[in-house]
Chains A and B, each alone.
Chain A
Amino acid sequence: MKLSQLRPGQTGIIKEFTDLEMSVKLMEMGCLPGEPIVVERLAPLGDPMAITVSGYQLSLRMQEASTIILQR
């Protein structure tokens, strides 16, 4: 399942990434395999999404969120 498929309020655990270049940036900002992610909300127009991961709130576009694969 991809992160972009989660609804606000849902949680997941990062498993892996589909885009190598993006994955480096995501990891640097705290999105690491094994970290739990909470989707806090979507922007009023549905994109981007706000997530909480490793104690930070990040905002990322749906297209970027779709490169994050969640466990199960």
Chain B
Amino acid sequence: MNGDLKVALVGNPNTGKSTVFNALTGLNQKVGNFPGITVDKKTGGCKLPDGRHATIIDLPGTYSLYPKSKDEIIVFEVLADRSSPEHPDLVVIVSDASNLKRNLLLYTQVADMKIPVIIALNMMDLARKSGIEIDVEKLSGKLGVQIVPISARQGENISRLKEAISYASVIPLQNDTIEVEALAPGLIDKIKNELQVDKPYTALQLAHQHENLHFLTPQQSDRIEEIEQEFSFHSQKAQASETIARYNYINELLSDTVSSKQVREEETVSNKIDKIITHKIWGFSIFFVLLFLIFQSIFAWSEYPMSLIEGVFVWLTETAHNVLPAGVLTDLLTDGILAGLSGVLVFIPQIAILFAFISILEDTGYMARITFMMDKIMSRVGLSGKSVVPMIGGLACAVPSIMSTRNIENWKDRMITIMVTPLVSCSARLPIYTVLISLVVPDKKIAGFLNLQGLALMGMYVISIVAAVLVAWVMKYILRAREKGYFIMELPVYRLPRWDNVLLTMYEKVKTFVVEAGKVIIAISVILWVLATYGPPGKHAEIEKKYESPAYTAKFNPEEIELHRSSEMLETSYAGIIGRAIEPVIKPLGYDWKIGIALITSFAAREVFVGTMATIYSVSDDEAHISSVTDKMREARNPETGLPVFTLASSFSLMIFYAFAMQCMSTLAVVYRETKSWKWPMIQFVYMTALAYIASLIVYVILK
């Protein structure tokens, strides 16, 4: 790693940081984590003209070093904390040439931290088109930094940017911007001395932000607090006067270096588009058509590749059984690991499709308009305008939808969206609903055209959405906000989507899911396999023996024996034991211990319920798979009372249970990955199970 240069990209949102990042690194990039926050850390490698290697890191976009959200703190932390592994040798400020004034605010702050810095003046194509002329040399002279005009989207001057990076000095050469010490006389010096900070502006920033910085010890933070008291430091007043001072400096800078001839043409185009897109009637119509399209695509387009993936795994499992010697290891491989792997990979199509849409919505600027239109309704129930897309996506699958909540900036809004999205009825619940509805709801029409079964199914969907909204509304009051809920948001000009970026996003999201959530899913899958396969020693051997005895082999053919054997094995497995153990708990809901087993095994994924029912009631895998399960289930009787197990009451109670319970390890794994802690998935698991229990209890009691 010797001679390696660490370069951080810093800039306002939407200035093209990610585009510059991609242009510099190509596909040579990786996504990692910053400790404690949810933004991804994107790093990539870049070969410099002088032969050295640079590690580029893309920091979250921010308007200033004073963070608006928890995630933005990372920018200041990385720049201020010398011991941080991400601390850069050089900062590249990516700024929008077509609107320099606001972009330079962040530059002046970073410059004052006295880290070597250069400016990439991006979007030069737009600046030229709007008749903005920038005297780059003069501006560069006034600031004392290199400025490289580029158009990242067109790839213009990227090689010059690389040259500038390799020639950049290792010591900060930029001129001072404002008189930092004047902002808090005395205080800055004291912090500098006591905490051994050598840059006045860094010292001032510590005073503002010490409460939230991870790299300060509690003692240091307390000491800063005392110094603030001593000088009666008022953080917000100081920030306000700093910002004004910086803008005065910037105005002076730009007065003789930038001239603009005409208004920005693109903006008026954007305005025209906005007249339609955010129109009372057209706006909502377009939006709902779009949502419908997204939902349909995740649902329909993913079906074929998903069954293909499943098919491949069925084939792999069969081949493994045929090729490998029968035994525990083979079973572990096929029923534990391969099943888990299949459970991970099967999500790829849905994730890829949803993120293709999200990437287009973000890239074009439409996502900001969705937020603009939906904010009023959604904020009522504690959600954000941006929660609409994940929640509609939740109708197909909660996994990609929860991953897509990344773009909700406000922490509280994002958490609530993550918490309620799994309540929305996903496609994996459909097989359960179909089986149970066909079991207890007559296939009859009322009022001539309303099919009762269809009505019941629709009811389940409506209930799920109502529940999601209600829970969101409750959580709005429970969850404490981490940051003041600003809404101020930029509405970027409309731009055409870039297909390479769409592909890159799809690839990245799929990879992150497979690598990070995949581990958890496979682990749980193996545990479930152990539970369903093994039982107390002795019991299983006894069963094996029983079915090998002539009493059976003479009477039944091998297939029948296998069916009964696996059914009995499951009943005596640990899963079976747990199923019996929880029977007293689930009895009030109308379930017996066999359903208890299905509740446990279907934690892998809800659709496993049907498979488990099939095993327990030992139906063979024939054509009429579902209907034969239904038949067996209809015949199922409670051995004590002799009454049917699946009555209207118990079936609806079961449907409600599956509607609300967190019966999906993949969702838990992805919530863990998105919130970076087990706390939230656990809370979610507990509240959803409790909600499911109470709701099914009520349903059972009423219908019984």
Q: Which B residues are CB-close (under 8 A) to A25?
A: 63, 68, 486, 488
Q: Known A40-B271, A55-B264, A64-B488; judge A48-B375 contact (CB<8 A).
A: yes
Q: Quick check: is B487 within 8 A (CB to CB) of the other chain?
A: yes
Tell me whether B372 and A43 are in contact (CB under 8 A). yes
Q: Quick check: is B240 within 8 A (CB to CB) of the other chain?
A: yes
Tell me whether A21 and B491 are in contact (CB under 8 A). no
Q: Quick check: is B105 within 8 A (CB to CB) of the other chain?
A: yes
| Total residues of chain B contacting the partner, CB 8 A | 43
Could you tell me which residues of chain A, from 1 to 34, have a CB within 8 Å of some CB in chain B? 20-30, 32-33
Q: Which B residues are CB-close (under 8 A) to A29?
A: 63, 102, 488, 490
Q: Known A21-B484, A23-B240, A64-B486; judge A43-B102 contact (CB<8 A).
A: no
Tell me whether B99 and A58 are in contact (CB under 8 A). no
- Of the residues B66, B105, B270, B486, contact of A22 by C-beta under 8 Å: B486
Which residue of chain B lies nearest to A56 when distances are taken between CB atoms in the complex? Answer: B490
Q: Which B residues are CB-close (under 8 A) to A26?
A: 488
Tell me whether A59 and B271 are in contact (CB under 8 A). no
Q: Which A residues are CB-close (under 8 A) to B236?
A: 20-21, 24
Task: Tell me the interface secondary structure of chain B in the complex.
Answer: helix
One of B277-285, B314-322, B584-592 contacting the partner: B277-285
- How distant is B456 from chain A, measured CB to nearest CB, in Å? 34
- How distant is B698 from chain A, measured CB to nearest CB, in Å? 35
- How distant is B68 from chain A, measured CB to nearest CB, in Å? 6
Could you tell me which residues of chain B, from 468 to 501, have a CB within 8 Å of some CB in chain A? 484, 486-493
Q: Quick check: is B377 within 8 A (CB to CB) of the other chain?
A: yes
Range for the number of chain A residues in contact with chain B? 20 to 34
Q: Which A residues are CB-close (under 8 A) to B279?
A: 44
- How distant is B61 from chain A, measured CB to nearest CB, in Å? 12
Q: CA separation between A28 and B68, bound complex, in Å? A: 10
Q: Known A24-B66, A27-B240, A55-B264; judge A41-B376 contact (CB<8 A).
A: no
Q: Which A residues are CB-close (under 8 A) to B371?
A: 59
Tell me whether B487 and A52 are in contact (CB under 8 A). no
Q: Which B residues are CB-close (under 8 A) to A24?
A: 66, 236, 239-240, 243
Tell me whether B373 and A57 are in contact (CB under 8 A). no
Q: Known A41-B274, A59-B368; judge A32-B491 contact (CB<8 A).
A: no
Q: CA separation between A48 and B243, bound complex, in Å? A: 25
- How distant is B292 from chain A, measured CB to nearest CB, in Å? 18
Which residue of chain A lies nearest to B260 when distances are taken between CB atoms in the complex? Answer: A55
Q: Quick check: is B31 within 8 A (CB to CB) of the other chain?
A: no
Tell me whether B237 and A20 are in contact (CB under 8 A). yes
Q: Quick check: is B359 within 8 A (CB to CB) of the other chain?
A: no
Q: Quick check: is B64 within 8 A (CB to CB) of the other chain?
A: yes
The 10 closest A-B pairs by CB, nearest first: A57-B491, A45-B376, A44-B280, A28-B63, A30-B102, A55-B99, A28-B64, A24-B239, A61-B487, A20-B236
Q: CA separation between A16 and B492, bound complex, in Å? A: 25
Interface 1/0 per residue, B233-275 and A, CB below 8 Å: 0001101100110010000000000000000100100110011
Which residue of chain A lies nearest to B99 when distances are taken between CB atoms in the complex? Answer: A55
- Of the residues A20, A28, A32, A59, contact of B487 by C-beta under 8 Å: A59
